[in-house]
Each structure stands twice: as C-alpha cells, then as structure tokens.
Amino acid sequence: MNLPTDPIIRSMLDNDFYKFTMQNAVVKLFPYAKARYKFINRGEHKFPPGFGEALQKEINYLSTVSLTVEEKEFLRENCPYLDPTYLDFLMGFRYDPQEVKITQMGEDLDVFIEGNWYRSILWEVPILSLISELYYKLTEQQRFSDEEVKEIAKNKILHYRDMGVKIADFGTRRRHSFAVHDMIIDTLKKNGGTTFTGTSNVALAHQYGVKPIGTHAHEWFMFHGARYGFKMSNILALENWVNVYRGDLGIALSDTYTTKVFFESFDRKFSKLFDGVRHDSGDPIEFAKATIQHYKSLNIDPLSKTIIFSDALNLKKVDEITQFCKGKIGMSFGIGTNLTNDVGLKPMNIVIKMSEAKPEGGHWIGVVKLSDEHNKYTGHPKMINLARTVLNIEN
C-alpha cells in the first residue's frame, strides 16, 4: 500500500465529536443502513497536479490508525453516555480506504464515499481536513509565522473573555493544518479561562484535557428523511436521539429542512427535553427572535435554554449576536474557520455531504438539506423540489 512518509492524521480521534456520537446511535439503531457521500467544491478551488494521489496516500494511511487504550479511557471518563460496548467497537474499528473513491481530472477533484453508514460516517471530517492541509502544502502558500498565529488567537479569546461569552472550537474540517489547529487550542486554553469551553476535535480535547463538544449533524436528519419521509424526519430524528442519549447531548440542530419546519416538530416535549438548539444558517438575529418566540409560545423561559451559534462566526458577528441575546436567551458560540484558518491565506470553501441513503430492506434514496440559505441547499434538484412541496416550503 502506498503510504505518506509523514502522515497528517495520526489519531482515530482526530475527528469531530458528533461523528462519534452519531456513529454510536447508528450502531444501535441502523446497523444495516448504507450511505453515500460526495465532495462539494463550493469555492471552485483549482487543485494542482498530483493532488488526488497525495490525498489517496493519506487515506491509505488512515487504515493503520486505531484507538489507543489512553484514548478509550478518555472517552470512558468524559463521555459516560457512550456505552462500553461502543468503546470496544471503536477499539476494533479500522478505516477501509476501499470505501473512498478519488478522481482528479485536470484541476477538478471528485471524492465519493460509500459503505455501511456506521462505518462511512467517520470519513467526512478527516477527508476535508486532509484536502485543506494538502491544498496549502501543494500550492506552496506561505502562512503567517507561528508567533503571529498564536497572537491572533490570543487577541480573539481575550476579546471574547472580556465580553463574558462562551467559545468552543469547531474548526477541524477547514483548518489550515493540524499544526495550526494544535497551536490554536493551546493558545485558547492558556488564555481563555472559563470562556473557552472545549473543542469539537476529540484528539485535541484529549491532548489538552478539555471537553469534547458536539451532538449531531445534518446527516442525522437527512437519513431520517430517507427512512421515514420528509414529514416525519425531524420528529423521528429527535425521538431516536432522545431514546439513545436519555437527555444527554441535548442541543438540537434546527435547519436541515429550514428552521420554520423544524419548529413545527419541536413541540413542548422536545423543547423541554432538549437543552437548546444550534444555529447553522440564515440570519442569526432572526433565528434568535424565532427561537425566543417559540419557547415563549410554549410557556418555557428562554433564559433556561441555549442557542449554540456556529455559522461562519467572527468577532463582529459574535458581538452583534451577544448584544441582541443578552438577557433574553442563553447563548454559546462554536467558531470554526475563523479560529483554525486565520493565517493570512484565503480559507477553503469545501464540504462533504451525504447524497444518498439506503435504509435496511430499502433502496438507494437521494437525501437533501434545505438550510435557511438557498446557497447551502444540497441534494438532487428533483428531491429538493419534492421536499419543498411535501413540507410546504415556498421560498
């Protein structure tokens, strides 16, 4: 097997936490389901010659990575809602590069993933982080010095600390590099105090002794749309999450089929059971207004709930959101690219999304995401139109 001489990803836990929490739920509830994912080059980046080959080497190396005893113990101590049986499963898990197909034609890159959902679910974040790091390396772009990178991160966390807000790192998938990500977490921990609440990257949470943060992603709801139909997707995705985690991991993602449709399913039961919701698209102030009104309409004190804001955040946006939400509803911020790729270069605009799902006993069905921003829609146009019709989404 063709392996890199200096591999980028060396830990099974160098991934976002919600990939493991979803994997655990999939193992429990949908062990026979299959899934397909594809790479979407939103930024229309041009990939240099040999990029696909370099990416393949890194993916081949991942087949040699396994969970260590120390990493397992970290999960056992810090994530008691993950069953011992799942942790044993993860100890034996190995990436299978045959589940990933990479094609490069000129400057265009295609990446396609297919396999059992409980296996293929782990590929998305590592592949995106590999694409990002290799892109800067192979195009020979020079970032700021380590000292400058640390100073930028330090100034940001001190600003947030002065504001009195809570900040977590959500920046694995589009980080400049693992080295930069490592420096950022080190800087945030040293200077953030209680302002820095943790990171979505489980390897770095383990390394720095901070909290791994995350619940679920759009694909959780997208699969439920394929399995149960668009009308039942939000309800059953939430119900299944509660059945697995029994009140833990209680932040619900709201915009897979638009926030308006989500709140129609997020009734008093779910609004009481879940600690809050995550904002990931659309105007954050309008989302906060709608969320506050939703809780009030159910006679729930919005200050007893939390919004996790996580959509393309920077200092200015966090300031604006904080000024509006203060005294009205709880809030916290998951900041991604602005923390892990603020190094003097243009960040990449890339995603990998589930494209099709095959529930047990079923056939392949196209899945969709209908965010509160049209440019974040994913899925086949025919399925998008069907979902909009079924869910009565007019614009």
Distance CA 241, CA 220 (A): 9
User: What pLDDT is attached to residue 82?
Assistant: 98
For 252, list phi and psi in degrees, rounded to 5. Answer: -95, 130
pLDDT at 5: 87
> What pLDDT shows up at residue 317?
97
Q: Which residues contact 306 (CB under 8 A, 6 or more apart)?
A: 251, 275, 276, 329, 330, 331, 332
Residue 287 vs residues 81, 132, 273, 321: alpha-carbon distances, Å: 30, 30, 20, 10
Candidates 348, 344, 339, 283; CA nearest to 315 is 339
Cβ within 8 Å of residue 22, ≥6 positions away = 121, 216, 217, 219, 220
Percent of the residues in the chain that have a pLDDT greater than 90, as a whole number: 97
Q: Is the dihedral of CA 207, 208, 213, 217 positive or negative?
A: negative
| Cα distance between residue 169 and residue 181, in whole Å | 9
Average pLDDT along the chain: 97
Cα within 13 Å of Cα(171), Cβ side: 32
Confidence of residue 260 (pLDDT cuts 50, 70, 90): very high
Q: How many CB atoms lie within 10 A of CB 19?
A: 22
Q: What was the pLDDT predicted at 374?
A: 84
pLDDT, residue 375, reads 82
Report d(CA 337, CA 173) in Å as an integer: 8
* Mean local confidence (pLDDT), 248-270: 97
Q: Confidence band (pLDDT; 50, 70, 90) for 3?
A: confident
- C-alpha–C-alpha distance, residues 328 and 335, integer Å: 22
Q: Which of 101, 371, 111, 355 is nearest to 223 (CA)?
A: 355
How confident is the model over 15-63, as pLDDT tens digits?
999 999 999 999 999 999 999 999 999 999 999 999 999 999 999 999 9
pLDDT value at residue 59:
98
- Sketch out the chain's domains with CATH numbers: 17-141+349-361 (3.20.140.10), 146-340 (3.20.140.10)
What share of the chain in percent tops pLDDT 70?
100
Average pLDDT over every residue of 286-295 = 98
In terms of pTM, does the model score above 0.95?
yes
pLDDT of residue 319: 97
pLDDT tens readout for residues 215-252: 999 999 999 999 999 999 999 999 999 999 999 999 99
Question: Average pLDDT, stretch 120-145?
Answer: 98
- Residue 165: pLDDT over 90: yes
Confidence bin at 109 (pLDDT 50/70/90): very high
pLDDT digits (tens, 9 = 90+) for 171-208: 999 999 999 999 999 999 999 999 999 999 999 999 99
| Residue-level pLDDT at 2 | 80
